[in-house]
Amino acid sequence: MTTFKAHMKQNGQAKAFPRLTETSRLPEITKASHNRKPILITGGAGFIGTNVAHRFLSIGQPVLLYDNLSRPGVQKNLEWLQATHGDLVQIEVADVQDSKALCKAARQASKVFHLAAQVAVTSSLIEPIHDFEVNARGTLNLLEALRGLENPPPLVFTSTNKVYGDLKDVKLQMNEGRYEPVDPNLREHGFGESRPLNFHSPYGCSKGCASQYVLDYSRTFGIPAVAFHMSCIYGLHQFGNEDQGWVAHFLIKALEGSPINIFGDGRQVRDILFVEDLIDAFLLAHDHMDTLAGEAFNIGGGPANTISLLELLDIICELQGHRPETQFADWRSADQRYYVSDIQKFSTATGWSPKVNVRDGVSRLYHWLKEFHAVQSVPVLKTSEHPTRRNKSSCRIQTNGASRNGHQRAIKTASRIKRLAPIGNGKCVDRKLTKIS
């Protein structure tokens, strides 16, 4: 194990993140009810992990963050958690491929949130074996660690909507500049868990494989576990890039004054979920684990919280007073033109529903990024251009030959990108009155 202080000294990192000015909501957990054994969060320094940790740490619950610190921005998250919560934050700098370190961490846990992952479809196309080792084998390592315990702690695993494939069989139509299903039931409710699994891309395969292992270990070995097939999650502490975390990425590029690359035509639609609402769902999953174990749930903003890429540009225009410059390129592999989660199954089982709407959530993230100068302090790197791998026995970062391949791919992509002037000469426009041919 490498401690965080040793890792920070080794990598010459700067001062801690500033303290947030607004407090998180804290439903379902109280100082009187929490267990002093730590909450284990794999990928705990990432965007979602940091928010989960902050929720528990804020009521005095110790948290063990298990992270290899390979993603740009996560060390800032760790610094902020330590500055805010002090010794309640325990850190294990290790990889999920390290089964011994994972077993040691699992033995200490009262609850487990398994968030660690290789998160980009593009990176999985460059290094499919590494993608499998992290997402599928890493999850299996954790499950084996839990299976070896007499009383395994409950587990919430985060998967992806990519387990449903590219959804090209779904007939779409255009409505006010965005795609929508022809099927009125899909328009009203979104995609439910009855949708057949259809793994596309190595990333979809590895996350789908991991999800199936989680569900089967729950059924076969009695491990209390659920899997969330998640749509787009966004919120504070997110340093998105072109390959993953697109809402934050668009906002960061806008604050930089840099062009935003749009792959496809920008009319593709997603439901987006603010991270605080996701954490509420996490807590409810643990509260109802006796009845939910062995089940998968589609989790997202649902039909009430949908947005297209072009509509996000409209919101950015309202926030900034001018429209960001955009560049368009070809569609990417396995990209879904329309995906909205049907959240009825989980809502019916737990009473959960999203509380933060799209405009409020995007505004909160925009002002957080602006206030803490994330654009200036965090390198915004394309995951596929800068893949890193950590040595299993140390925290030394290794960059392999795939970075050269990713750079070459980026050059080829750039040659196909068409730079467009901002729509409406940089002025905000009403999308409903704009004809898109």
Over residues 394-424, the pLDDT tens digits come to 332 332 333 334 334 433 433 444 444 444 4
Q: How confident is the model at residue 426, as a pLDDT? A: 57
Say what the pTM is: 0.82
pLDDT at site 428: 62
Rounded distance between C-alpha atoms, residue 164 and residue 204, angstroms? 8
- The dihedral region occupied by 47, where left means phi > 0, alpha psi between -120 and 50, and beta the remainder, is alpha
The reported pLDDT for the residue numbered 73 is: 81
238 touches 313 (CB < 8 A): no
With a CB cutoff of 8 Å and minimum separation 6, the contacts of 93 are: 1, 2, 3, 4, 7, 67, 68, 69, 395
The predicted structure's pLDDT at residue 368: 95
pLDDT the model gives residue 332: 86
> Alpha-carbon distance 370 to 252, whole Å?
9
Gap between the Cα atoms of 308 and 270, Å rounded: 6
**Residues acting as catalytic residues:** 203
- What is the token pair recorded at 209? 């494989």
Helix (H, G, I), strand (E, B) or coil at 116: coil
Residues of the chain with pLDDT under 50: 1, 4-5, 7-35, 374-376, 380-425, 430-437
pLDDT of 252: 94
Give pLDDT, residue 373. Answer: 61
Architecture of domain 4-433: 3-Layer(aba) Sandwich (3.40)
In angstroms, rounded to a whole number, what is the distance separating the alpha carbons of residues 164 and 199?
A: 6
On whether the CB atoms of residues 340 and 273 are closer than 8 A, the answer is no
